[in-house]
Amino acid sequence: MSSSKLSDPIVRQSIDTIRLLAADAVEKANSGHPGTPMEAAPIAYLLYLRHLEHNPTNPEWAGRDRFILSCGHASTLIYSMLHLTGYDLSLDDIKNFRQFGSKTAGHPEFGHVPGVETTTGPLGQGVAVAVGMAMGAQYLSQQVDADLFDYRTWVICSDGDLMEGVSAEAGSLAGHLQLGNLNYVYLDNKITIEGNTDLAFTEDVGTRYLAYGWHVERVEGENLPEIDAAMERAKNDPRPSIIIARTHIGIGAPNKQDTAGAHGAPLGGDELALTKQAYGRDPQETFVVPAEVAEHMVGCQDRGAKLEQQWQQLFEQKKSTPQMAGWLAVRQGELPAGWDADLPVFTAEDGAKATRQASGAAINGLAAKMPFLIGGSADLAPSNNTEIKGAGSWLPGQSARNIHYGIREHAMGSIMNGLCHTPGLIPFAGTFFVFADYMRPAIRMAALMGLAPIYVMTHDSIGLGEDGPTHQPVEHLASLRAMPNLTVIRPADANETSEAWKAAIANRKGPTMLVLSRQGLPTVDRNKFAPVAEVQKGGYVLAPETGELQIILLASGSEVQHAMAAQDTLQADGIGTRVVSMPSWELFEAQDAAYREQVLPAACTKRVSMEAGSTFGWERYVGLQGKAIGMDEFGASAPAGELMQHFGFTTENLVAVAKQLLD
């Protein structure tokens, strides 16, 4: 469609159809947000029919542009667009909005509907994930092929998205990196749930983004030629762009336009009827798609098919290059031959080694064989040991394997999700374990979507010492283990750390968190004790009992050394003692019941666990007759050894508790 045809009646008729489909869906569900889809309809129309390079008949085409509806509460907007442009989403699906088992959930869910690129969920996540998607496209463009991966990421966002702090972190980094393939359209409607934005949000958004280094446009939300031209300029600017569109929530609703009443509730039968009359539609009819609108909207498939065909022709010419062949293999879920061959192996003679150090060695062992393993840190790479040696730094306009996120943990988590959405990339990133609190919304979204970022969390307990209780994550293991589909691994020594990395790379059905020590831990002699490959089972018998089994000692991470030393003392006293290393509850629970019984036989009810964190949850393994040694209080500022002694993480205390339990 040429610009001169934007004034054709079919264009406005199509936009009105988008608006009323959205309003009807919310009304039928008696739940949802009608006003934002109504105001954003012209923008969505221009995107899908003129600017977004997409093919509704093949939503997974690798060269397509990405679109994120960051204000996910306006989900009926994207559902209406997907249906009208020919994606696999029926009118009945829209009628089933917000119902159990429906494709059309209250917020768009990744994997439920073709054409939904990510689950945005909480406000702010979409704009931040988009930064990761734009970074991923830049990496593929610069490291694989510039012609095949020149796609861009479009976002429609709201006041709420830009108020959330994660948007500031993400926008700042995007501007610094000069992500010219990233475009936001901001719906500046001046309304939130509580009323006018003047109640809480009076900043000049355009000036803010100019300060970040973005290209800024201002348009009227109903002026199609103006919006169209701004989108074209955004595509051609080397900076990330934000188009600020002055829109009107619930536009066309005579009593609710420009009010909070159009935000989080149906318009109501009477108001919806009046709205339809205002648009020249029969107020008694619902879910109406005029035949001429259906024909017009689905016409974008021809454009999309041609774009994809051109891409596929170019792809056929280039798919045999080494870079493309490598990318294709990883995209299809394959790992390079011998990918784990260079993982480090440590011996007892190596002495004490912090698991964060072992992790750094593992990263570099993997990186040599895995060119699409990319990572970074929230300004803590020297402490997290996350640097890929000799791989360069990601700088403005130039991608590389080492990403400097700055002190932006929340955005880092969300950006990792965007990188995970980029086919072929395997992202990891590090920070101190306590700062998982800043990342938690993004971690949860990764777990919900089944994405597989790898979190390198160091300084895992009171063992970090003098920084004190603000930096000592005593409750974090328990809280993160409670999150569905997140695998938490806290290795006991350097070799368990290598195996933890192997598990994180091999098991890509959800996120993995490696929880690593600051302090040095002794390396277990694997010539005497169980093979380290047992880590893949989550929990295993590290040191079996001598004689009749009387008590089981369970531990993870830095406390396994005390369990092994306690075993020596107890067995010298004639007490048959088993040591179980439990680096990952999630991996252990994934084993069959027979294996779990083999490790933790029900007949042995005397059990003691030791972990430098909350005792919450350990009752599942120690039972009613057992004892969990842990921390149900905050730590303190002191040298690590002194803290461990004070809070009872010693061999002597473990022996005493075990004997008391047996008595």
Q: Which residues are catalytic?
A: 409
Tokens standing for residue 609: 């666990």
Helix (H) or strand (E) holding 594: helix 593-599
Residue type, 29: A
Q: Judging by beta carbons within 10 Å of its beta carbon (0-12, 13-18, 19+), is residue 328 exposed, middle or buried? A: middle
Q: Are 566 and 654 in contact (CB under 8 A)?
A: yes
* Calpha distance 649→38 (Å, rounded): 60
540, β-bridge pairs = 581
Pairing mode of beta strands 182-188, 153-157: parallel
* Calpha distance 318→278 (Å, rounded): 54
* Calpha distance 66→52 (Å, rounded): 8
Nearest CA to 357 among 375, 337, 384? 384
* Calpha distance 439→446 (Å, rounded): 11
Mapped onto helix, strand or coil, the DSSP state of residue 420 is helix
* Calpha distance 77→311 (Å, rounded): 28
Q: Are 238 and 180 in contact (CB under 8 A)?
A: yes
Nearest CA to 331 among 108, 136, 147, 154? 136
Q: Are 540 and 530 in contact (CB under 8 A)?
A: yes
Helices (H), 7-100: 9-29, 35-46, 75-85, 91-95
> What φ, ψ does residue 201 adopt, rounded to 5°?
-145, 90
* Calpha distance 251→206 (Å, rounded): 24
* Calpha distance 130→119 (Å, rounded): 11
Q: Are 33 and 263 in contact (CB under 8 A)?
A: yes
Q: Are 174 and 131 in contact (CB under 8 A)?
A: yes
* Calpha distance 56→642 (Å, rounded): 63
- Angle (CA) 580-584-588 rounded to 5° is 75
Q: Return the number of other C-beta atoms located less than 10 Å from residue 568's C-beta.
A: 13
Nearest CA to 80 among 25, 10, 13, 158? 25
Nearest CA to 139 among 335, 391, 342? 391
What's the DSSP call for residue 587? Answer: H
* Calpha distance 123→107 (Å, rounded): 11
Indicate the Cα dihedral angle 54, 423, 166, 265, nearest 10°: 50
Mapped onto helix, strand or coil, the DSSP state of residue 593 is helix
* Calpha distance 663→653 (Å, rounded): 15
202, β-bridge pairs = none
